[in-house]
Amino acid sequence: SVPPQEYSIPPPVSQGKWKNKERVLIFSSRGINFRTRHLMQDLRTLMPHSKADTKMDRKDQLFVINEVCEMKNCNKCIFFEAKKKQDLYMWLSNTPQGPSAKFLVQNVHTLAELKMTGNCLRGSRPLLSFDPIFDREPHYALLKELFIQVFGTPQYHPKSQPFVDHVFTFTVTDERIWFRNYQIIEEDASLVEIGPRFVLNLIKIFQGSFGGPTLYENPHYQSPNMHRRLIRLSVAAKFREKQQVKEVQKIKKKGTKVLVEEDPTEVVFETPAEEKPVEIQLVKPESKPIVKDKKKLRKIQRKKQKKLFRTEG
């Protein structure tokens, strides 16, 4: 008899203990477009410690998200809120105590775009790279700690891989936070962008989770509604300016012309023409002989002949 083959279960890659139990809930409200949906799916792919949930109804209040996170056993949340089917807002929150930050998301590009040629291992832990300004300003220091806790994959997480082959960069330019994801190439340590990429325009930082007292308000923030309103006003101002120019031109045309006084020096170099003597004709001019058209005479004769033939017939 052949002895049964014994299969041994391979030991886990890492023998460490999973201590940091950070779990991030990533979901959105109803009314988002396809690009936001792809961005949300990309973040879930890159963050093995994330969880998903169904879309939240727009009628529900935001503090309901704290209860959803509690039911999903999550202590961090990334919530995408869509308004007017064109504006996208992102909430980063530490539930349920806080703090939380609200951003306007701009210039979204997803993983599926062809210009993103990088690649990384699914579930690998990323390096987090921050701009030096995150250590100077107090509100940026708070956001830095929030980004570390949300985007940093916990060590020895069951779904993560013990490799570091990509880096998340957070750069502050033009009063906005630019998010990029790069692959680290082993040969020469150069960087190739993987995606997704987006720009976060900070609106407010709240003390609580999805509300509470305001800790910081961005003075450089301009709402999309105000931006669109200013564009409309500028277009209307240009149109009004054109209309005013047309009216001024009409008034100029209708106005009386200013008569310029005659300049006596204009006729200095003019030479008068010689006057011809007036001839008075006393004899009546001879009448020209009337030359009749021979062809017309022939036609008339033919018509007369035809009438004679008809009458005789």
4-25 pLDDT, tens digit each: 555 565 554 555 788 888 899 9
Q: What is the pLDDT of residue 4?
A: 53
Q: What is the pLDDT of residue 260?
A: 74
22-63 pLDDT, tens digit each: 899 999 999 899 999 999 999 999 999 999 999 998 788 888
Contact in structure between 101 and 205 (CB atoms under 8 Å): yes
Q: In the structure encoding, which two tokens stand for residue 99, read together?
A: 């703090």
Which residues does 66 contact at the CB level (< 8 Å), separation at least 6? Answer: 95, 96, 209, 210
Percent of the chain with pLDDT over 70: 92
Residue 2 has pLDDT above 50, yes or no: no
Model-level pTM greater than 0.75? no
234-278 pLDDT, tens digit each: 999 999 999 999 999 888 888 766 777 888 888 788 777 777 788
Q: Which residue has the higher pLDDT, 285 or 9?
A: 285
- Lowest-pLDDT choice from 68-82, 244-258, 290-304: 290-304
Contact in structure between 194 and 167 (CB atoms under 8 Å): no
Which contacts qualify for 302-311: CB closer than 8 Å, 24 or more apart?
none
Residue 184 has pLDDT above 50, yes or no: yes
Domains annotated for the chain, with CATH where assigned, are 24-222 (3.40.50.10480)
The highest-confidence range among 3-12, 65-74, 280-289, by mean pLDDT, is: 65-74
CA distances to 11, 17, 39, 158, 162 from 14, rounded to whole Å, are: 8, 8, 30, 10, 7
Q: Work out the mean pLDDT of the chain and round it to a whole number.
A: 87
Residue 291 has pLDDT above 70, yes or no: no
CA distance 270 to 50: 98
The mean pLDDT value for 148-173 works out to: 92
